[in-house]
Structure 1
């Protein structure tokens, strides 16, 4: 009976910590949905664009020689990652332009070897730090900025005012580990403060 208790307590702790993680992730997703200025249809379309770009990555001639990800916001996409040649980089952009709903492309694919798992993990950590700093900044209260990091370059997207874009850019630049901040905002006079 004692052995059962000894085994049960760590298992219970592990299962509860998993529930906490799911709860936190769900809360973060809900917060993102509440502050996102896009309609449900626009978010759906952007997700489909990202899905189709991921499918391109897994087809010949790109499979195995490129590591490309994309982020879409209102049909405007950023292509990020690595390709083995400039011709491959341009060919990937050409394929992405053919996707329904794509309005503009920011091709930030670099000609270099794919990132290591360690580099990808570091990028995730930088993204977390930038998002936290943006959330903590009182001048950006309620402003939704999408943050993606690729090889220590931070990409910022969203529908914002020029003032909020400048503030978000400055916040991201001051995070340790950030090499460069690339803005891919869509601008409105009022940003996401519009009623």
Structure 2
């Protein structure tokens, strides 16, 4: 009985974590399978996103040490957020990421500005936490399929959703305290996968 409770807690923790950051598929057995099953990406895209983020992060830290760059890959689309030293560097980072295998698109939301202070990043992390909690309480969309990234008070939403699901999720996020702007980078699908399977 205790093992069942621990397993349930582990699965709940992993599902919550998946809203903003993916865990390696090799995390193991039931937990990893449950995480992939809750995601609308194919298992191949899920694994490729892991590889893209690892390669992009490593290359960025090696080549652009003076910048603050966050890279988030969802369904082979990479979101760039953070700060670049100048416009030339901003474009160079994008070109580097475009050259990584399996990257299909890059959404470059880097700004030319001084590196954000830790207080700002902590505030962004707090906003992300609040947004996740609000998404779990909302209706009309699958919260476990939506990825949340916050940078300088701007919340970016990624995921495979229908038009109505995306609108419902964006509405909930826009009403969350501290959110200055919502940027939806959803990939629109015509029908939720479970509905497709039922037809």
The Cα of 1:66 is off from its aligned counterpart by 0.9
Alpha-carbon contact 1:143-1:193 (below 8 Å) kept: no
Alignment of 1:1-195 (within 5 A): 27-30=12-15, 32=18, 33=35, 34-60=37-63, 62-63=64-65, 65-141=66-142, 144-194=145-195, 195=197
Q: Distance in 2 between matches of 1:47 and 1:94?
A: 19
Per-residue deviation, residues 95-130 of structure 1 (Å, max 9, x unmatched): 000001111110000111111111111111111111
The Cα of 1:84 is off from its aligned counterpart by 1.0
Alpha-carbon contact 2:141-2:166 (below 8 Å) kept: no
Structure 1's 26 and 114: CA in aligned 2 closer, same or farther, altered over 3 A? farther
Q: Which moved more, 1:133-142 or 1:157-166?
A: 133-142
Match of 2:3 in 1: none
RMSD, aligned CA: 2.1
Structure 1's 170 and 30: CA in aligned 2 closer, same or farther, altered over 3 A? closer
Find the residue that maps to 1:70 and give its secondary structure: strand
Find the residue that maps to 2:186 and give its secondary structure: strand
TM-score by length of 1: 0.81
TM-score by length of 2: 0.80
Find the residue that maps to 1:105 and give its secondary structure: strand
Higher relative contact order (CA 8 A, sep 6+): 2
Q: Distance in 1 between matches of 2:10 and 2:111?
A: 31
Match of 1:4 in 2: none
Alpha-carbon contact 1:172-1:181 (below 8 Å) kept: yes
Which sections of structure 1, spanning at least 5 residues, go unmatched?
1-19
The Cα of 1:52 is off from its aligned counterpart by 1.2
Alpha-carbon contact 2:160-2:187 (below 8 Å) kept: yes
Alpha-carbon contact 1:164-1:191 (below 8 Å) kept: no
- Computing the radius of gyration from Cα coordinates, the structure with the larger value is 1
Q: Distance in 2 between matches of 1:25 and 1:112?
A: 39
The Cα of 1:59 is off from its aligned counterpart by 1.8
Alpha-carbon contact 1:42-1:74 (below 8 Å) kept: yes
